[in-house]
Amino acid sequence: MNRYLNLVILLLALVFVNCNRTEKAQINIIPKPERLYVSDRIVTLDADSRIVFEDPNPALRLIGEALADFIAGSSSFKPEVVPYSLAKSIENDIYLSMNLNDSTFGDEGYQIKSNNGQFISIQANTARGVFYGVQSLYQLFPAEAYDLNQNCQEWELPAITVSDKARFAYRGMHLDVSRHMFPVEFVKQYIDLLAMYKYNHLHWHLTDDQGWRIEIKAFPKLTEVGAWRNETLVGHGGVRPKVFDGQAYGGFYTQSEIREIVDYAALRYITIIPEIEMPGHASAALAAYPELGCTGGPYKVETSWGVFDDIFCTKEETFTFLEQVLDEVMDLFPSTYIHIGGDEAPKTRWKACKQCQQTIKSEGLADEHELQSWFIQRIEKYLNAHGRRIIGWDEILEGGLAPDATVMSWRGTAGGIAAAQMGHDAIMTPGSHCYFDHYQGDPAVEPLAIGGYTPLSKVYAYEPIPEELTEKQSKHILGAQANVWSEYLKNPEDITYMVLPRMAALSEVLWSPAKSREWENFYDRLPAHFQRYKALGLNYSLAVNQIKVEKILLADSVAGLNLKTEVPNGVIYYTTDGTAPDTLSARFLQPFDQSEITILKMQLYRNGQKVGDIQQRAISVSADK
């Protein structure tokens, strides 16, 4: 009986749960809208609310249905999606229209109005613009709305007015599925995150040395052989001796799965750019078809990370192969851009290969760098003839850039600058700010990563337009992208940990006006996003609140410790005797001698409030430097 009562109480609690805000709303939209006005009024959405779209317009209906599904997920009601011609009026409804008729908003901008708190209208010039308006609307809901266990009867949303548009046309996230592979459901979830932050490109890294992940019907061995490796390196690639796990690893996406993902992304206004790596990072393809290498093999699908000497030979057979692969790739991906890789292709094999040397001679090329350029240009011609354009990593500049190529600048910004100065388009993705496989917190307490240190504030401070460019050249910087290489990221939770919240920070770099960026203001909007990640069941990083403990040398080569926080107005108190630090403990003001210290305990404060829990580090006697 008791248990039954408990159940009834629980069910009642679920039915009548109050999901509304009590105090005046803080608006936490990321990326920050260009203009935002918050009124004191509230718009109430309940079982009588509808989503009214201007008809006839199938794209708006689809956006409306997705919005209705979102609301239904955590509500006791699902709004009806109705064309305006049938709805006749708008009261307590959400109205979607693409009759904004204001060219200053472009293709991606939108306006939200919450007329006197009666209804919400989202207007744009295009369905894409309406979609981004709806993404902002989602962020007016409290975190409970993202939790499928909720069953709210009504939602009170702050009545706001927004005018917004994108700063950069290319806003990208990348995903490496070769080093580790992720289920179709996760790729979709990743796409949802991109949509939430108004990204419009997913760069899908489908092939590499450690696995070929796309079904190609003309070459079944690519996935029968090339998708599988015998084992995988354990721990960091820099550690010797190398240790392997002895477990076969692999998998691939079927063409039908790929179509499903491409369609899923298209509904979210995201273009997927497939990457097929050439001429390097080709071990998996060569393991399947050894005749395409310079030595004839045998080759293996690689089991550790790095750059490998065996690359595609420049013989005719390779082009026949690649063209057939690209035919199927083009059939699967409607994207104008196809990424052809081009990075990290050692020239060792080409130097020793009779056929490659013959190509250099017969084509009148100076060296192997020009041979790589010739290779890429040949592929470019093929893709151009099919109405597509190439993107390549910045190595495609070496030996001469293909005439229509867009450069993805990853070894710093020099490649992007050179491309823009030559009148080519470029996408910035420098390792310094845009490699989300790098550490985001103190490596001492973070999960194993490839290296680097790219904390959230650094991503947020990134400026994609290099100072070296004139205004005209700057127009060639289409935008930027974060890369998520998966050597050390094995599971979906590892990926989300590395991108959340860094992809939120980059979204603001890419979408919001440059002058509106303010780190402290961004930091203040983050907790609402953390709550949403939690409601969605996503693993995310709180490293922004972590104290970075740096070993440094003080005067006279004394080993010292420096403590750093990126939290705005963050103040650190610490102890070295094992006791819990508080505001009566030593306050960190300058680096100090570490010689007597074995345990360091720290507490971060901001505006008089604790930020997170006590953080501690065991301090080893020897300084690292």
CB of residue 452 vs ligand ACM: minimum separation in angstroms? 11
CB 219 within 8 A of CB 288: yes
CB of residue 343 vs ligand ACM: minimum separation in angstroms? 4
Cβ distance to Zn ion smaller for residue 105 or 312: 312
Task: Find the helix or strand (DSSP H, E) in which 495 lies.
Answer: helix 492-499
Cβ distance to ligand ACM smaller for residue 323 or 344: 344
CB 132 within 8 A of CB 12: no
Distances (CA, A) of 282 to 18, 292, 311, 336, 543: 56, 10, 6, 23, 35
Catalytic site includes residue 281: yes
Question: CA 484, CA 192: separation in Å to the nearest integer?
Answer: 16
Question: CA 586, CA 588: separation in Å to the nearest integer?
Answer: 6
Cβ distance to Zn ion smaller for residue 48 or 316: 316
Question: CA 268, CA 33: separation in Å to the nearest integer?
Answer: 19
Q: Name which of ligand ACM, Zn ion, none residue 353 binds, using a CB cut-off of 5 to 8 Å depending on partner kind.
A: Zn ion
- How many residues touch ligand ACM under the rule CB under 6 A: the total is 4
Cα dihedral across residues 411, 417, 421, 423: positive or negative: positive
Structure tokens at 319: 């082009």
Question: CA 10, CA 605: separation in Å to the nearest integer?
Answer: 38
CB of residue 487 vs ligand ACM: minimum separation in angstroms? 11
Instruction: Pick out residues in 119-178 that bind ligand ACM (CB under 6 A).
Output: none
CB of residue 207 vs Zn ion: minimum separation in angstroms? 19
Nearest to 371 by CA among 395, 393, 389: 395
Question: CA 95, CA 83: separation in Å to the nearest integer?
Answer: 10
Cβ distance to Zn ion smaller for residue 98 or 311: 311
Nearest to 507 by CA among 526, 488, 534, 485: 526
Cβ distance to ligand ACM smaller for residue 410 or 460: 410
Cβ distance to ligand ACM smaller for residue 192 or 344: 344
Question: CA 424, CA 489: separation in Å to the nearest integer?
Answer: 33
343, 398, 404, 446: which one binds ligand ACM (CB under 6 A):
343
Q: How many CB atoms lie within 10 A of CB 103?
A: 9
Nearest to 142 by CA among 52, 39, 9, 17: 17
Structure tokens at 441: 């917190």
Cβ distance to Zn ion smaller for residue 209 or 494: 209
CB of residue 437 vs ligand ACM: minimum separation in angstroms? 9
Q: Name which of ligand ACM, Zn ion, none residue 343 binds, using a CB cut-off of 5 to 8 Å depending on partner kind.
A: ligand ACM
Q: Name which of ligand ACM, Zn ion, none residue 393 binds, using a CB cut-off of 5 to 8 Å depending on partner kind.
A: ligand ACM
Binding mask of the shown chain, residues 279 to 318, with x at each position contacting Zn ion by CB under 5 A? ---------------x------------------x-----
Q: Name which of Zn ion, ligand ACM, none residue 92 binds, using a CB cut-off of 5 to 8 Å depending on partner kind.
A: none
CB of residue 330 vs ligand ACM: minimum separation in angstroms? 22
60, 191, 329, 356: which one binds Zn ion (CB under 5 A):
356
Q: Name which of Zn ion, ligand ACM, none residue 252 binds, using a CB cut-off of 5 to 8 Å depending on partner kind.
A: none
Cβ distance to ligand ACM smaller for residue 270 or 345: 345
Catalytic site includes residue 344: yes
Question: CA 389, CA 405: separation in Å to the nearest integer?
Answer: 7
Nearest to 93 by CA among 64, 131, 130, 125: 64
CB of residue 401 vs ligand ACM: minimum separation in angstroms? 16
Task: Find the helix or strand (DSSP H, E) in which 161 lies.
Answer: strand 155-164
State the alpha helices, DSSP H only, in 333-488. Answer: 348-352, 354-362, 368-385, 414-421, 431-434, 456-460, 471-474
CB 169 within 8 A of CB 477: no
Q: Name which of ligand ACM, Zn ion, none residue 344 binds, using a CB cut-off of 5 to 8 Å depending on partner kind.
A: ligand ACM
Cβ distance to ligand ACM smaller for residue 50 or 281: 281
- How many residues touch Zn ion under the rule CB under 5 A: the total is 5
Residue 393 contacts ligand ACM per CB under 6 A: yes
CB of residue 181 vs Zn ion: minimum separation in angstroms? 30
Task: Spot the catalytic one: 180, 281, 339, 424.
Answer: 281
Task: Spot the catalytic one: 108, 156, 208, 425.
Answer: 208
Task: Spot the catalytic one: 34, 80, 192, 344.
Answer: 344
Instruction: Pick out residues in 402-461 that bind ligand ACM (CB under 6 A).
Output: 410
Would you call 295 exposed, middle or buried from its count of C-beta atoms within 10 A (0-12, 13-18, 19+)? middle
Question: CA 394, CA 521: separation in Å to the nearest integer?
Answer: 34
The region of 185-193, 225-233, 354-362, 435-443 touching Zn ion under the rule CB under 5 A is 354-362
> Which residues contribute to the site for Zn ion (CB under 5 A)?
294, 313, 353, 355-356
Query: Would you tell me which residues interact with ligand ACM (CB under 6 A)?
Result: 343-344, 393, 410
Residues known to be catalytic: 208, 281, 344
